[in-house]
Amino acid sequence: MPLRSTCRCTLCELEIRMLRNLAFTEKDIFSDPATPLPLCNYSNTADLLLPLRSSPANSTSDQLLSECLKIHAAHPVFIETLLILVFLPMLHRAVRRVLLFQPALAEEDVTQQALSSLLQFLRSDEMQTRRTHLAFAISRAVKRRLFAWAQREGMHDAPLKFEPDILASLIIEDSFESYAQLRHFLDRCVIRGNLTSAELDLLIQYKLEANHGEDFDNSNGHSSNARRQRLKRLLAKLRRLAR
C-alpha cells in the first residue's frame, strides 16, 4: 500500500500536513526510553507507517497497534495523528464509496464525518478493552458508522445500496444480536483454523473495503474472475460451517 495517494483530495492534502507536523515531534517519541521496544526500532513516522499500512489484519499489525495505544495517554496528539495516517487509505476508499452512492453529499462533509468516526472509535471503551483483530475492528466500526450516517443524510436523494449477503452485517447491522453472532462466528473460524488469514483478508477486502470486484486484479496475475470464484467458494464454505 503506498504511503500517499496521487490525488489532491482533502484527505491527501491532510496527509501531507500531518506528516510535516509529526516530523517536529517524532524524534522525541522514538528516542524516549518509555516508548515500547517495537516502536523504538523505527526512526521516523514514515518507517513505522509502512508496516502498519502494508501488514494484513493479523498478529503483526495487532502488536504494532497495541504498542501505539500503550503510549496514547502520554502522547495523545501524536498517536491519534499517527493512527489517522495509518487508516487514511481506508478512509480515502470509504469516502469515495459514499460519494459514489450519495453524490449529493459534499466531499468535505463526508471526509469530516469519516475522521470523526475514526477518532470516536479510537477513544471508545470498546477500543480500550480490545486486544485482537485491532485493524479489522477499527476498519469495520468506522465504515459502519460512516455508511449509516451517509444513509441518513442522503435518505431523500439516493439511499445507499448494499448487496444482500451473508456478510452484509459487517457494514450495517440490523440488530446487535446478528452482529455479535457474526463476529463470534468469524473469530471462532480463525481460532479453529477453519478460516485462514488470507481468506479473512479476502472477506475484509470484499465487504469492509467495499470492494465488490472492481479492484480484484492484482500484481500476482490472478484475474478478477478467479478471485470472485474463490470468494464464492469461501462463502459456500462459511455457510457449511455455519450450519
Q: Identify whether residues 126 and 25 lie together within a single domain.
A: yes
Write down the pLDDT at residue 181: 60
Q: Identify whether residues 114 and 184 lie together within a single domain.
A: no
Q: Identify whether residues 21 and 76 lie together within a single domain.
A: yes
Instruction: Look at the block and give the residue holding cell 523504538.
Output: 40
3-state secondary structure 173-236: CCCHHHHHHHHHHHHHHHHHCCCCHHHHHHHHHHHHCCCCCCCCCCCCCCCHHHHHHHHHHHHH
Q: Identify whether residues 76 and 118 lie together within a single domain.
A: yes
Q: Identify whether residues 61 and 173 lie together within a single domain.
A: no
Residues of the chain with pLDDT under 70: 1-6, 37, 55-59, 155-184, 204-224, 243
Domain that holds residue 232: 162-243
Write down the pLDDT at residue 243: 66
Write down the pLDDT at residue 56: 65
Contact residues for 54 (Cβ-Cβ < 8 A; gap 6+):
1
> How many domains does the chain fold into?
2
User: Around 188, how many Cα atoms within 13 Å sit in the side-chain half-sphere?
Assistant: 9
Domain assignment present for 157: no
Domain boundary among 85, 117, 135: 135
Write down the pLDDT at residue 81: 92
Is the dihedral angle over the CA atoms 117, 120, 123, 128 positive or is it negative? Answer: negative
Domain assignment present for 12: yes
Domain assignment present for 151: no
Q: Identify whether residues 216 and 175 lie together within a single domain.
A: yes
Write down the pLDDT at residue 158: 46
Q: Identify whether residues 110 and 6 lie together within a single domain.
A: yes
Q: How far apart are CA 127 and CA 27, in angstroms?
A: 27
Q: Identify whether residues 178 and 228 lie together within a single domain.
A: yes
Write down the pLDDT at residue 163: 39
